[in-house]
Structure 1
Amino acid sequence: MPVRVAVVGAGYFAQFHQEAWARLPGTKLVGIADLDREKAANAAAKFGVPAFSDHEELFDVTKPDLVDIATPPASHLELVKAVAVRGLPAICQKPLAPTLEVAQEVVATAENSGTLLVAHENFRFQPWYREMRCLISNGRLGNLHGVSFRLRPGDGQGPLAYLSRQPYFQHMARFLVHETAIHFIDTFRFLLGEVSGVTARLRRLNSHIVGEDAGIIVFDFATGQTGLFDGNRLNEHVAENTRLTMGEMWLEGSAGVLRLDGSARLWWKPQGGKEALHPYSWPDTGFAGDSVHALQAHVISHLRDGTCLENSAREYLRNIEIEEAVYRSAKENRHVPL
């Protein structure tokens, strides 16, 4: 029997969740809910499923086996409580909650009811990062020195910034780190391991938004490497689609440098040699190399076959603790150990 999946949320990014569930083998999208009934109806019509404006009615009518929460973070605690009461597993979009304290309550709610809660953090499932991880594991880079990422999606200029996709971005008091750099906190940890300290400088470039939209963060890793995140959302990097990779990455080791460009190509430069394209394949469909689909397939494999799970909500709290340290570092103008 297919796993019956109900999606709560019909905003911009929820479309990637819905579309991926509709074509994932072994699952069945059974309904979509959103506070905006028209949005829910438009989304549901694409897949021939019922639409709801109330999540409780969605659960009562469709009787899902799994709930996918794809709504803004302020709604997550209420929704996780509603799912936990019914004893259902859930996937919840990041950020898990507006603050670390509320995120801890979200996680405790699921754990106290004995239900599975997974953070929807899809960047680590983007195929270029999976390939990087394989090359690291295979020893291609030798002893790793560090990682750096230069974020330049170019979507944050002027008074209309973000309004066409996710307008609530303009009003977030914490923006660049809480909404965007959190992806790279998780990805850096996926590639290099645990973070032991951070130093950050954050600022706001676009006066039409509330939160910070530029910053530099230096990460210390427990095994001695260093990470650098250099981000601003106003400028563009070189790419036909600046949102595909959001920027460029360099992984450096004793054997050479692995570079990710804006077209999701990987380039390998061995120490003392010439840079050359590293061939690998990835699906050019869905969101960012079909990473939403890959995350969902990963969760279904865990539920059905007991395979090892990445991104449990409990494990994901560590990313939010690091986020808090980043904001503390910027506020207090100092290095913050973890």
Structure 2
Amino acid sequence: MARGAIRIGVIGCGFYAQNHLHAWQDLASEGAALAAVCDVDTGKAEAAGRAFGVPFYTDAATMLAGDRLDAVDIVTRHNTHRALCELAISRGIATIVQKPFAPTWEDCLAIVEAAEKAGVWLAVHENFRFQTPMRHVRRVIDSGAIGAPSWARIMFRTGFDVYRTQPYFYDEERLAIADVGIHVLDLARFFQGEVERISCETQRRNPKVRAEDTATMLLRHRSGSVSVVECTYEARRDPDPFPETLVEIEGDKGSIVVLPGSRLRVSSNGVTTEENVCSPLRSWTTVRWHVAQEGAFLACRHLLDCLQRGVRADTSGQDNLKTYALVDAAYRAAVEHRAVAPEELNESAGAPRSKARGAQ
């Protein structure tokens, strides 16, 4: 797709979609054109259309047929993703889909295969790796300041009431790992590379929820490094760092620690430095939510740039299969009380080893 204005339609105008809508609006100077919005809830669709000055729809097929769109950003619940992705792909429209990719591995694979067959650009809006503190961590790793990473702990631990804005969480069959664990597992890949095997212990600490609200995972990476990945909605911390992800990474030359408040501490060859890596607020971000909201903006910026240059996104559908495979492997590991290689699940679900392992 040539560089120029990219006309984008957003499907889903709920709680989190507001971040996407504001992001695309802010990216107008860089070539994004928010062209239409859609939601099955008429009130939400109309409110978004009026707020952002674009046509609104309550039916995705009607929007895709009625507006000349270059790309569609799907920000709906994951059980709708496959049908909406396949609809957009069938019309040759570049497709962005919010994580989690889809409810099952089979659905994810079907979406990727549909896009590949049609030659349509596809990406997952996996945004934690775009948060400013996480980009700083990646840059420090790439600089060689701590040497080769050999151990890490990546934590998303909060007691914030996520059920207030997402009450359907109470009835989800898969919760903590599928909702936020997928983000921290993606960060483990982003920082330390692909995973050889994963172990997992889950807990349901809140009796009101149906699924797990806490997970503690142990990953062995192909490089030989090890990471501990933690996620919970039942932490009792004061102050609560929500919605920040805290990170510790050790290498043979030093370490990186991400502390609450977007503070980055780097120890390298015996010298320790600390800085605040929080970026300035945008007009629509707030102090508490800024790190997450800006992560959504920066993810959209990356996706826009890739669309304009006609290149695959870092979080392409194929790449996200690797993260999704870790989610499914974690659930299997928790049930079977053993370490699980992601390839085991991929092969048992019918994915060829070459596609599961070699996806870029």
Tell me, what secondary structure is at the counterpart of 1:107?
helix
Q: % of aligned pairs identical?
A: 29
1:26 equivalent in alignment to 2:31:
yes
Q: Cα deviations across residues 88-135 of structure 1 (Å, max 9, x unaligned)?
A: 101000111111111111222222221111011001111111111111
Matching residue of 2:267: 269
Q: Aligned to 2:60, which of 52, 55, 68?
A: 55
Return the offset for 1:143. Answer: 2.6
Give the AA of the match of 2:281. Answer: D
Aligned residues: 330
Give the AA of the match of 1:85. Answer: S
Matching residue of 2:189: 189
Give the AA of the match of 2:191. Answer: L
Matching residue of 1:130: 135
Rounded to whole Å, the distance in 2 between the matches of 1:306 and 1:239 is 44
Return the offset for 1:167. Answer: 1.9
Rounded to whole Å, the distance in 1 between the matches of 2:144 and 2:278 is 20
Please say if residues 40 and 58 of structure 2, whose CA atoms lie closer than 8 Å, have aligned partners that are also in contact.
yes
Rounded to whole Å, the distance in 2 between the matches of 1:110 and 1:98 is 18
Rounded to whole Å, the distance in 2 between the matches of 1:189 and 1:142 is 17
Moved more, 233-242 or 144-153: 233-242
Please say if residues 22 and 28 of structure 1, whose CA atoms lie closer than 8 Å, have aligned partners that are also in contact.
yes
Matching residue of 2:345: none
Return the offset for 1:266. Answer: 0.5
Q: Mapping of 1:282-321 within 5 angstroms?
A: 282-285=279-282, 286=285, 287-288=290-291, 290-307=294-311, 309-321=313-325
Please say if residues 201 and 330 of structure 1, whose CA atoms lie closer than 8 Å, have aligned partners that are also in contact.
yes
Rounded to whole Å, the distance in 2 between the matches of 1:303 and 1:58 is 21
Rounded to whole Å, the distance in 1 between the matches of 2:89 and 2:276 is 44
Rounded to whole Å, the distance in 1 between the matches of 2:269 and 2:308 is 44
Please say if residues 96 and 106 of structure 1, whose CA atoms lie closer than 8 Å, have aligned partners that are also in contact.
no
Matching residue of 1:253: 251
Rounded to whole Å, the distance in 1 between the matches of 2:78 and 2:253 is 42
Matching residue of 2:348: none
Q: Which runs of 4+ in 1 moved over 6 A?
A: none
Q: Mapping of 1:33-48 within 5 angstroms?
A: 33-48=38-53
1:217 equivalent in alignment to 2:217:
yes
Return the offset for 1:60. Answer: 2.2
Please say if residues 145 and 225 of structure 1, whose CA atoms lie closer than 8 Å, have aligned partners that are also in contact.
yes
Return the offset for 1:62. Answer: 2.1
Q: Mapping of 1:49-88 within 5 angstroms?
A: 49-88=54-93
Rounded to whole Å, the distance in 2 between the matches of 1:252 and 1:120 is 28
Give the AA of the match of 2:154. Answer: F
Rounded to whole Å, the distance in 2 between the matches of 1:262 and 1:92 is 29
Is the alpha carbon distance of 1:64 and 1:74 closer, same or farther for their aligned partners in structure 2, counting shifts above 3 Å? same
Q: Aligned to 1:96, which of 94, 101, 104?
A: 101
Give the AA of the match of 1:277. Answer: E
Is the alpha carbon distance of 1:308 and 1:64 closer, same or farther for their aligned partners in structure 2, counting shifts above 3 Å? closer
Please say if residues 278 and 291 of structure 2, whose CA atoms lie closer than 8 Å, have aligned partners that are also in contact.
no
Return the offset for 1:250. Answer: 0.5
Matching residue of 1:146: 151
Rounded to whole Å, the distance in 2 between the matches of 1:240 and 1:233 is 11
Matching residue of 2:349: none
TM-score of the two chains, using structure 2 as the length reference: 0.87
Return the offset for 1:216. Answer: 0.9
Give the AA of the match of 2:162. Answer: Y
Is the alpha carbon distance of 1:150 and 1:281 closer, same or farther for their aligned partners in structure 2, counting shifts above 3 Å? closer
Please say if residues 262 and 277 of structure 2, whose CA atoms lie closer than 8 Å, have aligned partners that are also in contact.
no
Return the offset for 1:209. Answer: 1.1
Return the offset for 1:238. Answer: 5.2
Give the AA of the match of 2:16. Answer: F
Moved more, 290-299 or 199-208: 290-299
TM-score of the two chains, using structure 1 as the length reference: 0.92
Is the alpha carbon distance of 1:236 and 1:41 closer, same or farther for their aligned partners in structure 2, counting shifts above 3 Å? farther
Rounded to whole Å, the distance in 1 between the matches of 2:277 and 2:232 is 29
Matching residue of 2:177: 177
Please say if residues 132 and 277 of structure 2, whose CA atoms lie closer than 8 Å, have aligned partners that are also in contact.
no
Please say if residues 68 and 92 of structure 1, whose CA atoms lie closer than 8 Å, have aligned partners that are also in contact.
yes
Q: Cα deviations across residues 193-216 of structure 1 (Å, max 9, x unaligned)?
A: 111111111111111111101121
Q: Cα deviations across residues 270-310 of structure 1 (Å, max 9, x unaligned)?
A: 4655x541354524334526121211121221122245620
Q: Aligned to 1:6, which of 6, 9, 27?
A: 9
Identify unmatched segments of 5+ residues in structure 1: 156-160
Please say if residues 121 and 312 of structure 2, whose CA atoms lie closer than 8 Å, have aligned partners that are also in contact.
no
Tell me, what secondary structure is at the counterpart of 2:303?
helix
Q: What is the alpha-carbon root mean square deviation over aligned residues?
A: 1.8
